[in-house]
């Protein structure tokens, strides 16, 4: 979980930068209609393209066949943003390669044959793309991609065709959410070819005031243009979040201080707490620390909790399956131990 | 009392809603309550039901005067998928589908991306020849503009460059 534990820049507003490239193998049907034997060959071809290459990167990767790990282990990888739910839905044929630093994951037989992802802490989209493109070149040395001169990289869903690139930033926007300014931002973002979603992508809520912003258009713009657009819009949103925080501090400093310390109080002393509530409260405390209101809490601890309180990761840490009620009790204990 | 939603577990979450003076009561178990929208009222934004590509696709096909579902249709020679399969699933079967259904799928791609020309990365190994061709195409367009503007000196330079790239394309193919 290197990406989540690292200190982030931009006063912590940009949590992570992520690049995902969708690629397919020429002449092979896409995973959703692929028979088991061919799917197995796709896994073999992609893994050996990385492992047998003479690159320094190749030694860093572990290969995990999804069918070989438990449901909890799979879900925990989703909670850590290393794989997608779609990969789990195809667990009988899917695999993932994850590097030691846990910032590169290569999903095999997801919606496309290859979904290469690089995730960096902080605001580092260009660096993340550079690494992704390098690994992409490495795979292409041995695998012939499905590629068309006119349409670019061909993908299972036409919404990804062209660059196959999804660039995204994960933003922590508590002040914009509290002041309800987030609704304007959501509307504006949709008008400039970007999309905004909750913590776990499509269909998820903005848990813990965390939002994901990514490009929607993948064809007709170059990778550089797509990334630059996202950077420009992200800079504006970060600026707005900072303004909203200043405004809150100016106009309602006592109310704000009270709310943030109450959040810390609940986290420190609760005996049972849901994922949703804990993420909301962690978000508030994090904002308090970043604004210099709360002084004796370490942001790294909050980052760690943000991942560890989630159901599957929590159960993995406890090394046993828990009922929802027991999970809430264990979660509260875990948070108390971390913060007291 | 049993949970009103699953009728299996004990209800231990009780909700009373009063909307426009109409009172409704809801009794749910832990699990169902977690999934219930009624409880998440304090949530700032719900991204709960995004439109999937399949939802939108059908609209596009109809709007663009697409074939009715009974139409005798093309089959992709590689994966044997039909255009109707694509319409139902929202996913193509293989890379070849793009050219097999080109006529129908190009307007859809144009709707989604506002464009049908890839201008980004070209794969290094398989893309060498493609890249050359694209460069030649681009130079030919520039040449046309130069001639129209009567910039003959520039046109001559462009022509030489095109010749050079075309000869390079020939050697790449082993001609």
Q: 3-state class of A19 per DSSP?
A: strand
The single residue listed with the structure tokens 């309550």 is B33
Q: How far apart are CA B94 and CA A24, in angstroms?
A: 9
Q: Does B75 touch chain A (CB under 8 A)?
A: no
Residues contacting residue A87 through CB under 8 Å, at least 6 positions apart: A66, A94, A96, A107, A109, A110, A115
**pTM: predicted TM-score of the whole model, two decimal places:** 0.78
Residue A159 has pLDDT above 80, yes or no: yes
Q: How far apart are CA B78 and CA A32, in angstroms?
A: 15
Residues contacting residue A197 through CB under 8 Å, at least 6 positions apart: A204, A211, A212, A213, A214, B47, B50
How does pLDDT run across B73-118, given as a tens digit for each residue? 788 989 999 998 998 888 999 999 998 898 889 999 998 999 889 9
* The pLDDT of residue A269: 97
ipTM surpasses 0.85: no
Q: Which domains does chain A have, with CATH numbers?
A: 2-242 (3.30.590.10), 253-339 (no CATH)
Q: Do A203 and B79 touch (CB under 8 A)?
A: no
Residue B70: alpha-carbon gap to chain centroid: 24
Q: Do B98 and A30 touch (CB under 8 A)?
A: no
pLDDT confidence of A175, banded at 50, 70, 90?
very high
How does pLDDT run across A246-279, given as a tens digit for each residue? 999 998 889 999 999 999 999 999 999 999 999 9
* The pLDDT of residue B51: 59
Q: Based on C-alpha coordinates, what's the Rg of chain A? A: 21
How does pLDDT run across A97-149, given as a tens digit for each residue? 999 999 999 999 999 999 999 999 999 999 999 999 999 999 999 999 999 88
A vs B: CB pairs below 8 A: 153
Q: Do A137 and B124 touch (CB under 8 A)?
A: yes
Q: Does B9 touch chain A (CB under 8 A)?
A: no
pLDDT confidence of B45, banded at 50, 70, 90?
very low
The answer to whether A331 is annotated as binding is no
* The pLDDT of residue B57: 75
Residue from A143, A158, A201 whose CB has the most chain B CBs within 10 Å, to mutate: A158
Residue of B nearest to A196 (CA): B47
Q: How far apart are CA A286 and CA A303, in angstroms?
A: 9
Name the residue among A29, A182, A202 with its Cβ closest to that of B45: A182
The answer to whether A169 is annotated as binding is yes
């Amino acid at each position: 979980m290197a990406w989540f534990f690292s200190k982030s820049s931009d006063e912590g507003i940009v949590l992570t930068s992520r690049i995902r490239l969708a690629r397919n193998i020429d002449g092979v049907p896409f995973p959703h209609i692929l028979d088991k034997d061919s799917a197995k060959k796709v896994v073999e071809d992609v893994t050996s393209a990385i492992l047998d290459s003479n690159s320094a990167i190749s030694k860093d990767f572990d290969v995990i066949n999804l069918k070989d790990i438990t449901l909890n282990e799979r879900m925990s990888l989703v909670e850590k943003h290393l794989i997608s739910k779609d990969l789990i839905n195809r667990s009988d044929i899917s695999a993932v390669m994850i590097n030691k630093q846990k910032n590169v994951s290569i999903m095999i037989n997801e919606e496309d044959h290859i979904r290469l992802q690089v995730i960096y802490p902080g605001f580092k989209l260009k660096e993340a793309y550079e690494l992704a493109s390098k690994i992409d070149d490495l795979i292409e040395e041995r695998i012939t991609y499905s590629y068309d001169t006119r349409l670019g990289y061909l993908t299972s869903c036409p919404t990804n065709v062209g660059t196959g690139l999804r660039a995204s930033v994960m933003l922590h926007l508590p002040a914009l959410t509290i002041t309800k300014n987030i609704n304007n931002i959501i509307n504006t973002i949709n008008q400039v070819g970007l999309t905004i979603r909750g913590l776990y992508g499509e269909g998820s809520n903005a848990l813990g005031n965390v939002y994901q912003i990514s490009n929607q258009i993948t064809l007709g713009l170059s990778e550089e243009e797509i990334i630059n657009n996202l950077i420009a819009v992200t800079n504006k949103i970060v600026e707005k979040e900072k303004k909203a925080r200043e405004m809150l501090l100016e106009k309602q400093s006592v109310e704000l201080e009270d709310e943030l310390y109450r959040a810390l109080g609940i986290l420190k002393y609760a005996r049972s707490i849901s994922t949703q509530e804990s993420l909301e409260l962690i978000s508030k405390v994090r904002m308090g620390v970043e604004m210099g209101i709360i002084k004796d809490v370490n942001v790294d601890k909050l980052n760690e909790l943000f991942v560890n309180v989630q159901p599957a990761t929590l159960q993995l840490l406890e090394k046993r399956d828990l009922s929802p009620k027991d999970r809430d009790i264990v979660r509260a204990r875990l948070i108390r131990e971390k913060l007291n | 009392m049993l949970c009103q939603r699953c009728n299996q577990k004990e209800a231990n979450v009780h909700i009373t809603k009063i909307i426009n003076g109409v009172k409704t009561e809801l009794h749910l178990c832990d699990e169902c309550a977690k999934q219930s929208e009624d409880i998440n009222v304090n949530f700032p934004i719900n991204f709960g039901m995004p439109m999937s590509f399949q939802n939108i696709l059908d609209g596009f096909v109809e709007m663009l005067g697409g074939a009715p579902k009974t139409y005798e249709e093309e089959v992709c020679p590689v994966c044997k998928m039909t255009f109707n399969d694509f319409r139902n699933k929202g996913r193509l079967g293989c890379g070849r589908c793009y050219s097999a259904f080109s006529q129908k799928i190009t307007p859809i791609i144009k709707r989604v991306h506002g464009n049908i020309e890839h201008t980004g990365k070209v794969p290094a190994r398989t893309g060498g020849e493609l890249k050359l061709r694209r460069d030649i195409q681009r130079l030919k367009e520039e040449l046309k503009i130069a001639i129209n503007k009567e910039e003959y000196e520039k046109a001559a330079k462009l022509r030489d460059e095109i010749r050079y790239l075309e000869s390079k394309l020939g050697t790449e193919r082993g001609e």
